[in-house]
């Protein structure tokens, strides 16, 4: 491998393939390198694919992409030891074109998107581990692969190599100080179940799907939560937790996962299912304030590598932000190459301009305070107990006089620190 291209994209996940499509569709020569045997083989996700961003990149993608189910039901479940409270929002419009979001399996979906990049003109090379960047006169001008696989040069290099990218440091981009609470550990199981059984247990019709965001006593005092997505004939189930808190609590992520699966509300959904896949993944959840520098002299950064992830507790946005930022990086590279203005300033300004009107940067700004909310220890057990105790008092029929909602709430808050509650409520409003 010793050639010269307009653009080299490192990583063939959704961010990398999106960047390659955006650049190649403008007539640029694009090389995309992937360390795995095939795109998606190293990726896992606890997020759903939101349709609008991908529709811009690949019009009518839903007619051919390997999608599992359009998500009609969004359910938020708050659990206590013997109680649970679930909010179910359903919208039939979400199951019709142009759709809202889908459950997907990353290996299948990433492979499909990389093929769309190749159809656009990009060249994909797999089993390539990039160990270094070629730097000449303080400008990134190519990549150097491990094991004597050679090197390749380009006018612009786009780094889409995932969370904790080692190449960011090699590119000389300034990284913010790493805080232990900026990262979460995601663990996911894929559980096989018959399509009709899934429909019956989750209350679904046809191919409509459901997505659960869950927190409660199973991860008490450990920032994070659990998710469940229905696929066509499998269930994606997992947890996203603070590894720092796991260490402090002296508990493993697998222990928390098993506690979640043992909850009555979840156990009945999984009965008879068979685990067919297990995966784990680090997630950067530091938000806007924790993002590294994402542009430099001859280099752009997109997707997880750039920190484009948002977790609000209700929704986890990763894939759509990766697609959006990758698309912006590809467009920015095409813009400066076409104009023959390849200075560091021109590239940075072009990327900033694309991002400012993008779904990726919009989400990062709107939810910039979400990490503060997710770090509150009161979210995980204390507040879910409060909600469930209030609901129990409302629905319980006893021999005494009926109490007002105000009296019920007052009793339930006896053990709640009012200042903490007000602070977290204020943070929550600003975060969402």
pTM of the model: 0.92
Are 187 and 257 in the same domain?
yes
Are 303 and 173 in the same domain?
yes
Last residue of a domain, one of 249, 267, 284: 284
pLDDT of residue 226: 95
CATH, residue 119: 3.50.50.60
Q: Has residue 426 been placed in a domain?
A: yes
Q: Percent of the chain at pLDDT above 70?
A: 94
Are 128 and 275 in the same domain?
no
Question: Could you tell me which residues come within 8 angstroms of residue 363 by beta carbon, excluding any fewer than 6 positions away?
Answer: 310, 317, 320, 321
Rounded mean pLDDT of 125-138?
Answer: 95
* Buried/exposed code over 107-136 (b: 16+ C-beta within 10 A; e: otherwise): bebbbbbbebbbebbbbbeeebebeebbbe
144-188: pLDDT as tens digits:
998 777 899 999 999 999 988 889 999 988 766 677 788 899 999
Residue 406 has pLDDT above 80, yes or no: no
Q: Has residue 77 been placed in a domain?
A: no
Using the structure block, give the residue that is written with the tokens 């400012």: 356
Residue 320 dihedral angles phi and psi, to the nearest 5°: -65, -35
Q: Has residue 331 been placed in a domain?
A: yes
Cβ atoms of 32 and 122 within 8 Å: the answer is yes
Last residue of a domain, one of 314, 332, 357: 357
Q: pLDDT band at 328, cuts 50/70/90?
A: very high
Last residue of a domain, one of 241, 259, 284: 284
- The 3-state secondary structure of the chain reads CCCEEEEEEECCCHHHHHHHHHHHCCCCCEEEECCCCCCCCCCCCCCCEEHHHHHHHCCCHHHCCCEEEEEEEEEEEEECCCCEEEEEEECHHHHCCCCCEEEECHHHHHHHHHHHHHHCCCEEECCCCEEEEEEECCEEEEEEECCCCCEEEEEEEEECCCCCCHHHHHCCCCCCCCCHHHEEEEEEEEEECCHHHHHHHHCCCCCCEEEEEEEEHHHCCCCEEEEEEECCCEEEEEEEECHHHHHHHCCCHHHHHHHHHHCHHHHHHHCCCEEEEEEEEEEECCCHHHCCCCEECCEEECHHHHCCCEECCCCEECHHHHHHHHHHHHHHHHHHHHHCCCCHHHHHHHHHHHHHCCHHHHHHHHCCCHHHHHCCHHHCCHHHHHHHHHHHHHHCCCCCCCCCHHHHHHHHCCCCCHHHHHHHHHHHHHHC
Is the pLDDT higher at 179 or at 195?
A: 195
Are 175 and 186 in the same domain?
no
Q: pLDDT band at 400, cuts 50/70/90?
A: low
Lowest-confidence range among 51-60, 205-214, 259-268, 377-386? 377-386
Q: Has residue 91 been placed in a domain?
A: no
Are 51 and 119 in the same domain?
yes
Separation CA 163–CA 129 (nearest Å): 15
Q: Has residue 362 been placed in a domain?
A: no
Separation CA 217–CA 233 (nearest Å): 29
pLDDT of residue 122: 98
Q: Has residue 195 been placed in a domain?
A: yes
Residues forming beta bridges with residue 125, ordered by sequence position:
33
Q: pLDDT band at 107, cuts 50/70/90?
A: very high
Residue 2 has pLDDT above 80, yes or no: no
Rounded mean pLDDT of 214-218?
Answer: 91
Separation CA 22–CA 180 (nearest Å): 34
Separation CA 280–CA 68 (nearest Å): 21
Is the pLDDT higher at 431 or at 229?
A: 229
Question: Could you tell me which residues come within 8 angstroms of residue 29 by beta carbon, excluding any fewer than 6 positions away?
Answer: 5, 6, 7, 121, 123
Average pLDDT, the chain: 91
299-325: pLDDT as tens digits:
999 999 999 999 887 788 899 999 999
pLDDT of residue 432: 61
CATH, residue 236: 3.30.9.90
Is the pLDDT higher at 32 or at 284?
A: 32
Are 171 and 33 in the same domain?
yes
33-44: pLDDT as tens digits:
999 999 988 788
Are 299 and 311 in the same domain?
yes
Q: Percent of the chain at pLDDT above 90?
A: 69
Q: pLDDT band at 221, cuts 50/70/90?
A: confident
Q: pLDDT band at 386, cuts 50/70/90?
A: confident
Separation CA 80–CA 51 (nearest Å): 34
Are 278 and 294 in the same domain?
no
136: containing domain: 4-66+105-179+290-357
Task: Give the number of domains in the chain.
Answer: 3
Residue 1 has pLDDT above 60, yes or no: no
Residue 401 has pLDDT above 70, yes or no: no
């Amino acid at each position: 491998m010793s050639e010269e291209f307009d653009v080299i994209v490192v990583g063939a996940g959704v961010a990398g393939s999106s960047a390659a499509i955006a650049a190649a569709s403008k007539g640029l020569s694009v090389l995309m390198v992937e360390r795995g045997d095939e795109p998606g083989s190293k990726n896992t996700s606890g997020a759903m694919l939101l349709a609008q961003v991908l529709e811009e990149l690949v019009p009518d993608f839903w007619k051919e992409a390997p999608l599992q189910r359009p998500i009609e039901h969004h359910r938020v479940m708050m659990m206590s030891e013997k109680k649970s409270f679930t909010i179910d929002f359903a919208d039939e419009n979400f199951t019709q074109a142009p759709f809202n979001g889908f459950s997907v399996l990353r290996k299948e979906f990433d492979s499909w998107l990389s093929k769309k990049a190749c159809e656009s003109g990009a060249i994909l090379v797999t089993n390539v581990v990039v160990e270094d960047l070629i730097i000449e006169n303080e400008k990134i001008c190519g990549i150097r692969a491990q094991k004597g696989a050679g090197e390749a040069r380009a006018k612009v290099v786009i780094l889409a190599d995932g969370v904790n990218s080692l190449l960011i440091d090699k590119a000389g981009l300034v990284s913010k100080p790493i805080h232990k609470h900026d990262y979460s550990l995601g663990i996911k199981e894929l559980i096989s179940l018959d399509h009709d059984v899934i429909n019956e247990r989750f209350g679904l019709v046809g191919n409509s799907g459901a997505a659960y965001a869950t927190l409660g006593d199973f991860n008490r005092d450990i920032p994070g939560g659990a998710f469940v997505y229905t696929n066509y004939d499998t269930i994606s189930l997992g947890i996203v937790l603070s590894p720092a808190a796991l260490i402090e609590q002296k508990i493993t992520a697998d222990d928390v996962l098993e506690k979640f699966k043992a909850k009555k509300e979840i156990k009945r959904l999984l009965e008879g299912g068979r685990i067919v896949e297990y995966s784990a993944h680090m997630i950067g959840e530091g938000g806007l304030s924790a993002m590294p520098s994402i542009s430099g002299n001859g280099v752009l950064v997109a997707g997880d590598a750039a920190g484009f992830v948002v977790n609000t507790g209700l929704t986890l946005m990763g894939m759509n932000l990766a697609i959006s930022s990758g698309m912006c990086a590809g467009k920015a590279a095409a813009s400066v190459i076409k104009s023959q203005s390849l200075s560091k300033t021109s590239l940075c300004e072009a990327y900033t301009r694309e991002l400012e009107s993008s779904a990726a940067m919009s989400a990062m700004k709107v939810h910039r305070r979400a990490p503060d909310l997710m770090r509150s220890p009161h979210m995980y057990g204390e507040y879910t107990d409060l909600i469930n105790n209030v609901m129990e008092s409302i629905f319980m029929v006893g021999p005494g006089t009926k109490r007002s909602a105000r009296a019920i709430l007052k009793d339930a808050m006896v053990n709640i620190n009012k200042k903490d509650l007000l602070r977290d409520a204020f943070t929550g409003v600003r975060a969402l």
